[in-house]
Structure 1
Amino acid sequence: MKYTVYLSGEIHSDWREKIKNATQEHNLPIEILTPNTDHDSSDECGAGILGAEEKPFWKDHKAAKLNSIRHMTALNRADIVIVRFGEKYKQWNAAFDAGIATALGKSLIVEHAKELTHPLKEVDAAAMAVAENTEQVIEILRYLCQDY
């Protein structure tokens, strides 16, 4: 079986690269989809492509609309959605992606530190698996790709 996996969430660490490298190293039949992880590019795409805005709300609105094309396409294509919540920032967009994935009936894997268990309890309740680190996520993917 081949899976399409969307890696959503925190963009300030190398967790996506770890998963990509592991899928290649273990020759897993997985296609990886990602959002734009370049923070500046993601924030500036609307104004840069469609024109500047005087008010920050409209600048952000344009960027969010353009970015949502990529996010929604990836969420719709994915068999599995992995959402990682980092400790440094509140990732409202990650929680939103987890909700959309659940509404679309996608298999959801959530990753976060133990300290975030309480604030993410509703997200965790919707997940098929809740991992505490990227290594656990990789092991889940390896398990799913095993022929038995």
Structure 2
Amino acid sequence: MTKVWTVYLSGEIHSDWRERIAAGVQEAGLPVELVAPITMHEDSDDCGVAVFGPEENKFWHDRKGAQLNAMRTKTLLSGSDLAVIRFGEKYKQWNAAFDAGYAAAMGIPYITLHPAEHDHALKEVDGAANGVAREPEQVVQALAYIIRGDMPK
């Protein structure tokens, strides 16, 4: 029986990096289940008030959503074999930094994925990472090596 690896994909939601990893995993035939937070920005922001009722104060609106999303994130990340933490070019992903810290504290190995221009800002996050990738395809290569010992072609 082959182990199915659970990989949590954290971070930036404005590019196709998750889809590129999913396509690479499928193409390589890797026994991987990819899990992630809710990536529909509006749903993630408004889930708390949609479920628990409206809030006039934006702070409490956001807090309700953050708390609901945190249950998903904590559960999925805690149950993962490893994580990929993506920091994109356009926005600051404070949530991704939090997920990296949580993974490090829980002993969950992770790979960061970001452009070289973020190296200085992310030096501590990268310092605790087990790998730093620049492209989603490098993450797939890392997974192939970790799972099957396959070297890149």
Shift >3 Å, 4+ stretches: none
Name the residue aligned to 1:66: 68
| 1:37-116 mapped onto 2 (5 Å cutoff) | 37-116=39-118
State the partner residue of 1:137.
Answer: 139
TM-score, normalization by structure 1:
0.97
- How far 1:136 sits from its partner (Å)? 1.0
1:111 and 1:24 mapped to 2: Cα distance?
Answer: 19
Q: Matches of 1:124 and 1:25 in 2, distance apart?
A: 28
The alignment of Structure 1 onto Structure 2 pairs a total of residues equal to 148
Counterpart contact for 2:111–2:130, Cα < 8 Å: yes
1:147 is displaced (CA, Å) by 5.1
Over aligned residues, Cα RMSD in angstroms?
A: 1.1
Give the distance between the partners of 1:35 and 1:117, measured in 2 at CA: 24
Partner of residue 119, structure 2? 117
Unaligned runs of 5+ residues in structure 2 are: none
- Residue 18 of structure 1 aligns to which amino acid in structure 2? R
Q: Aligned residues: percent identity?
A: 53
Partners of 1:103 and 1:26 in 2: CA distance: 31
Distance (Å, rounded) in 2 between the aligned partners of 1:14 and 1:147: 26
In structure 2, the residue matched to 1:7 is 9
**Alpha-carbon distance in structure 2 between the residues aligned to 1:132 and 1:17:** 15
Distance in 1 separating the partners of 2:89 and 2:146: 27
Once residues 118 and 149 of structure 2 are traced to their aligned partners in structure 1, the CA distance between those partners, rounded to angstroms, is 34
d(CA) in 2 for partners of 1:82 and 1:38?
A: 18
Which residue of structure 2 aligns with residue 22 of structure 1? 24
CA shift for structure 1 position 105: 0.1
Which structure 1 segments of 5+ residues have no match?
A: none
Q: Secondary structure at the match of 2:10?
A: strand
- Please tell me the residue identity of whatever aligns with 2:45: D
Letter in 2 for 1:35: P
